[in-house]
Amino acid sequence: MMQFVEPIIGGLAAFALGALWYTALFGKAWQAETGMSDEDAQKDVARTHGLALVMMIIMSYAVNMIIGYHDVADQTFVHGAFHGAMAGLFYAAPSIAINYLYQRKSLKLYLIDATYLVLLLALSGGVMAMLKLA
């Protein structure tokens, strides 16, 4: 049962990080790079945030499968964060780079978004690994 609950909790942790990342830390820079106004950012916000959370849970589920290949005794926050960060660095960041290259997006926007993806997967992985010990 926990194997289905862990990705939800990992996704919620990632969502919380995103709220901080895209508001207090890089919100204005992100908006400037995307050309999105405050009004644009608030359009259909429930649908956007809800679907984004679902995607975070799906990504967390994939990282949780990787973590699950290791003994439960080996599960620590650092262990899970390592696997999450590796998924971010080797899958998520290159994937977004391909899209941004073709879309001619700025390096600054790439760094904001790709760094967030790596950190969200690391945080999610860390949280999920700790839950395995609980």
Give whole-number Cα distances, 1 to 74, 76, 123, in Å: 20, 20, 21
Residues in the chain: 134
pLDDT in tens, 86-131: 999 999 999 999 999 999 999 999 999 999 999 999 999 999 999 9
pLDDT in tens, 58-70: 999 999 999 999 9
pLDDT of residue 2: 67
Give whole-number Cα distances, 99 to 17, 71, 83, 96, in Å: 23, 36, 24, 5
pLDDT of residue 134: 72
Cα angle for residues 16, 59, 31 (degrees, 5° grid): 50
pLDDT > 70? residue 1: no
**41-56 mean pLDDT:** 95
pLDDT in tens, 8-45: 999 999 999 999 999 999 999 999 999 999 999 899 99
Rounded to two decimals, the pTM is 0.93
